[in-house]
Amino acid sequence: MRVIRLVLAGVVLTEAWRSNEMILGALGVILLAQSVLNVGCCGSSGCDIDHVGGKSRSSKNTAQEVTFTEVTKN
């Protein structure tokens, strides 16, 4: 993914230079920074994926049974 961002950043920056577009250039700089620093949009690890293969989970959270009590008005 890092190489794809780097190539895309090169294409976007080239087109921004040719067409003299500042916003497109800013997008190219963002893509270039992502590829150089090897970060993505989820830099804060906000989206967890299953890194462990098989049936084991990367998260230790399990579902707990919830009981509800009916509240009635007298």
Low-confidence ranges of the chain (pLDDT < 70): 41-60
Could you tell me if residue 70 is inside a domain? no
Where would I find the H helices in the chain? Answer: 2-19, 22-37
The model carries a pTM of: 0.55
Provide the domain limits for residue 9.
Answer: 2-37
pLDDT tens string 56-74: 555 667 778 889 999 998 7
Q: Looking at the 3D structure of the chain, how many domains does it have?
A: 1
57/4 Cα distance (integer angstroms): 29
In a domain, 27, yes or no: yes
The C-alpha atoms of residue 2 and residue 6 are separated, in whole angstroms, by 6
Structural domain contains residue 69: no
Q: Is residue 43 part of a domain?
A: no
Q: Does 14 map to a domain?
A: yes
Residue 20 lies inside a defined structural domain of this protein? yes
